[in-house]
Amino acid sequence: MLAGAPHVCSNSTDAAEVLDLLERTRPTQANGFAASVAHLAKDPSFPDRDLRSLRRGNLWPNLPDDIRPADPELRHNMLGTTETGSVCVLSEDQSDQPEHRRGSFGRPAPGFETRIVDPDTGTDCGPGETGELWLCGPFMMEGYYGRERGDTFDADDWYHSGDLFTVDDDGFHYFKGRHSEMIKPRARTCRRARSRPPSSTRPGSPPTSSASTTPTGADRGRRRPRPVRPPADPSTTTRGR
């Protein structure tokens, strides 16, 4: 959209309807959550669909042979949550990655900052150490309905996602599970380290990739919305869904 391209969205739960939309609008790139993409490929009409316009994205089964990944796990995934408003961790590089980057979700999207934190000690984890993903940025939600902001964000405006991640030396994020599922065989103290992506542009990447450097300090642009409080008389308020 930054380049002026049309952005077509569908909220249909019917695979055939989504495939109809793809055929009708002929996009050059199509992305979706893994489960929804798999749902499309399983539709009986999928083999007969004309989706030759697609050149990028994660609709792997119908991409041309020259760009279809031999192993989808060696392409960057992306992380998006309702709380962050959209995708918050991704990569502009859609080429096959080296084996050591298998399962990568990429690095923070422009405007987002991340930390990987030991949930028991509250210290930042170093590269390769598993911890909880914390997120911060101006696009975050204001809070959950009926709950104080302090119940969701800490005093420094960090949102604790409950997702377990590791980050490598280059700032790429890897999902490891949920905090509630973690079993620690022995106590471990993580060393202080930040998970921000490098500030330099990687070789061969477009100039706009430098925007992936997350803002800090006064440039961060955070705001502290007022606490989200339930109405005094809920019977007089229509709650949106």
**Between β-strands 29-30 and 131-136, what pairing exists: parallel, antiparallel or unpaired?**
unpaired
pLDDT, residue 108, reads 96
Where do the domains of the chain lie?
12-68, 77-220
Q: What are phi and psi of 141, to 5 degrees?
A: -60, 160
pLDDT, residue 6, reads 84
Burial environment of residue 163 by CB neighbours within 10 A (0 to 12, 13 to 18, 19 or more): middle
Statement: residue 239 has pLDDT above 50:
no
pLDDT, residue 64, reads 76
What does the longest C-alpha to C-alpha distance in the chain come to?
60
Statement: residue 226 has pLDDT above 50:
no
Percent of the chain with pLDDT over 70: 73
Hey, how many other C-beta atoms are within 10 angstroms of the C-beta on 137?
22
pLDDT, residue 38, reads 79
Where do we find the tokens 């599922």?
181
Q: What is the mean pLDDT of the chain?
A: 76
Statement: residue 222 has pLDDT above 70:
no
Could you give the CA distance from residue 27 to residue 53 in angstroms, rounded to a whole number? 6
Q: Which two tokens stand for residue 139?
A: 């696009």
Statement: residue 60 has pLDDT above 90:
no
Statement: residue 111 has pLDDT above 90:
yes
* pTM across the whole model: 0.62
What pLDDT digit, counting tens, does each position of 180-205 carry? 754 444 434 343 344 443 333 333 33
pLDDT, residue 41, reads 85
- What's the pLDDT band for 236 if we cut at 50, 70, 90? very low
Q: Which range has the worst mean pLDDT, 86-100, 119-133, 210-224?
A: 210-224
Q: CA–CA distance from 90 to each of 23, 103, 109, 200 (Å)?
A: 26, 12, 6, 17
**Homologous superfamily of the 77-220 domain (CATH):** Luciferase; Domain 3 (2.30.38.10)
